[in-house]
Amino acid sequence: MKIKRVLRETFTSLSANKLRTGLTILGIVIGVAAVIAMLSVGQGAQNSITSSINSIGTNIVYISAGARARFSAGNFNSVRNIRQLTLADAQALTDPFQAPSVKAVAPVIQGGNISASANGQTTTTTVYGVTTSYFSIRNEQVSEGAFFNDQQVNTHARVTIIGTDLATTLFGRTTNLTGQTMLINSQTFTIIGVLQSKGGSSLGSSDNQAIVPLTTARDRVVRRAGTTVDGIYIQATSAQAVSEANTQVSNIMRLRHHVAVGKEDFSVMSQQDLLTTATSITGILTAFLGGIAAISLLVGGIGIMNIMLVSVIERTREIGLRKAVGARNRDIMIQFLVESSFLSLLGGLIGILLGWLISLIIGQIASASGTILNPAVSLNAVLLATLFSAAVGLFFGIYPARRAARLEPVEALRYE
């Protein structure tokens, strides 16, 4: 049976019932578009989180209070009696004899949703209280001005370095701001620098922040008594030394907190740990979203089978006539398989375009709402959706095709 003839008959058959054909294709279109859109959103989220983690800096180890949740044989183990981190902990980590792989240490105090106002504008921002070593560890750069020095940290100076988003919100610009004043938690601060933009991510914008001396943050912004800190950033001497630094830091913290291995009241995470965890979570999320979207594609395939069964019934006399003049069972089966495959492939192609458009719209909506998310339509997602839609057409077209091929010519010709 010639390919051109099969295609011509396929087009003639499907065009005879344009509305029914269109509705059948629509089921596949929606399924493929949903798969493409969900996979692109998942990939975009993963790219955004990875970019955010990479922007932290290189060779970084981070310590936070409280141990990470551990899963063992399906059981969730939690840690009790969480002990806070202190400045003394950070100081101990700078010992070159106990931690030779540690290059620099930066304790951090963080305050979220802190009121910031200037120039008649008011907003909320995240305030970080840091020491001078923080800037080199986090690889921060200023577009204008300078970082504060050790003397300003020791004298509790009311100076700040702000991100570009915060600068734009309060002043409407990101230049010529050095020397300007602003209120942070009702306290007057002098702007001494503006950070270079690092962009935003699904974790939030790193440009909406104000950095102040750690001593000033503790006394005037976060207003925290004692020497506790929220976290400690550590820079290893090299990328190859991160693992050794992780081990050395953990040993020092266990000795200081008097805890045994497996009973830690703190968490030590390297940049690679964060990347691995984030990739795992977003991978599961993407698979989950893709699986849900694939259900609609399955429904579309059932729609194809239903329509093809109806077509077999409507064309029973035609099938009988073809077989009476010499058409083989294989010819009849190929004809119906081509029709079902054509429906699924056409729907798949339209669905890919629609899915790409939906992903763009989702990205625009996320951007407009302040959430930085750039859905990424990957070649793998397109190939997966295309192959899956073709497989759906073949799978759900086999039964109707076999049913048509098995019709007896005499009985088919007598069918009314």
Task: Give pLDDT tens digits for 348-380.
Answer: 888 888 988 988 888 888 777 666 677 877 777
pLDDT above 60 for 76:
no
* pLDDT-based confidence at residue 82 (cuts at 50, 70, 90): low
pLDDT in tens, 134-167: 998 888 899 999 999 999 999 999 999 999 999 9
Tokens of 86: 């202190």
| Residue type present at position 97 | F
pLDDT at 73: 36
255 vs 341, higher pLDDT: 255
| 8 A C-beta contact, residue 127 and residue 212 | yes
Kindly give, in sequence order, each residue whose CB lies less than 8 Å from that of residue 72, ignoring residues fewer than 6 positions away.
none
* pLDDT-based confidence at residue 405 (cuts at 50, 70, 90): low
* pLDDT-based confidence at residue 201 (cuts at 50, 70, 90): very low
- When pLDDT is averaged across residues 278-292 and rounded to a whole number, the result is 76
pLDDT at 410: 57
pLDDT above 80 for 90:
yes
Q: Using alpha carbons, list the distances in angstroms from residue 302 to 25, 161, 299, 336, 388.
A: 12, 60, 5, 15, 14
pLDDT at 74: 39
Q: How high is the mean pLDDT of the chain?
A: 80
Of the ranges 59-63, 252-256, 343-347, which one carries the lowest mean pLDDT score? 343-347
pLDDT at 260: 86
170 vs 42, higher pLDDT: 170
pLDDT at 371: 64
d(CA 193, CA 180) in angstroms, rounded, equals: 10
413: closest CA among 329, 328, 330, 319?
319
d(CA 265, CA 267) in angstroms, rounded, equals: 7
Hey, how many other C-beta atoms are within 10 angstroms of the C-beta on 395? 15
d(CA 255, CA 95) in angstroms, rounded, equals: 14
57: closest CA among 144, 130, 6?
130
pLDDT at 377: 78
Most confident listed range (97-101, 271-275, 322-326):
97-101
pLDDT above 50 for 71:
no
pLDDT at 203: 44
Collapsed DSSP state (helix, strand, coil) of residue 409? helix
- When pLDDT is averaged across residues 269-275 and rounded to a whole number, the result is 74
Kindly give, in sequence order, each residue whose CB lies less than 8 Å from that of residue 109, ignoring residues fewer than 6 positions away.
128, 129, 130, 214, 217, 218, 222, 224, 229, 230
d(CA 170, CA 33) in angstroms, rounded, equals: 41
d(CA 94, CA 101) in angstroms, rounded, equals: 10
